[in-house]
A and B are shown apart, each in its own frame.
Chain A
Amino acid sequence: MTLAQTLNGGLKLIPEERQDWLILLEIAADASEDLAREFGELMDEDSMWDEIVVPELEAEFSVQRKHVLKVVKKAQRAEKKEIVIAPKDADLWYGALNQARLSLEAEFKFGSREFTEREEIQDAAMRSAFLRDEFYLTLQSLILRYVSTD
């Protein structure tokens, strides 16, 4: 996959191989739908978080996941097979990637493990998840550096 900065402040992704498309499709798949409820658990009952805020957060996070999935699928079918992350969409992409990384972290606990190289991971599912996490992190860093406006 090739990633390049665009002249209007965006980021262009050009998937070249089948696994490039697969990893982009995995962003939405990796993202858990439980994140909003997890945030609700951080608040006390008096705050009415579960009743008022969590549904709003669920809707907001869902929009992020759906946006990324829709853009990737549309690019797959398009003649010009590329994806442009424009500044106006930076938060949607960053949020979807963050949801995916928070879910992977919850499942595999990469942050508390010693390994840093994929060769050290014997379990295939974990190795694959580690690769995806690394890719999502790289993409997030590029969005922060080249696309986000604030």
Chain B
Amino acid sequence: MNAVEAPAHDPKTRTHQKTDKPWQVVVLDDPVNLMEYVSRILIRIFGFSKEKAGALMMAVHQQGKAVVWTGGREKGEMYVNQLHSAQLHATLEKAE
């Protein structure tokens, strides 16, 4: 019986998997929408806890924008659609 040799392994060789960068849903600040409303919408759309939604809302308010979700483009577009429907300014950006 012939033994099957294991394939030679060169430790210097690495496999590089090319993956697309994820997309980010970014909510932008505006001077009209009420902070309470923004929190409620984030809970309604993303299912965040009250604490997480509140923290993201404050980040939007204080920093002008905040990344609220990261993932695939198609799902990100669905979320931005829902945010626009709720009249929140939001966009989709490729992650850095």
Which of B30, B81, B87 lies in contact with A53, CB distance below 8 A?
B81
Q: How far, in whole Å, are A102 and B80 apart by their CA atoms in the complex?
A: 18
B59 within 8 A of A: no
Sorting the interface of chain A by its residue count into under 10, 10 to 19, 20 to 34 or 35 or more gives 20 to 34
Cβ of A101 < 8 Å from any Cβ of B? yes
Q: How many residues of chain B have a CB within 8 Å of chain A? A: 21
- On chain B, the residues within 8 Å of A39 by CB distance are 84, 89
Evaluate contact between A140 and B34: CB separation under 8 angstroms. Answer: yes
Return the contact of A42 from the options B36, B44, B85, B90 (Cβ within 8 A).
Answer: B90
State the Cβ distance, B23 to closest chain A Cβ, in Å: 10
CB of B3 closer than 8 Å to a CB of A = no
Contact residue among A47, A57, A95, A102 (Cβ-Cβ distance under 8 Å from B92) = A47
Interface 9-mer from A4-12, A105-113, A121-129:
A105-113
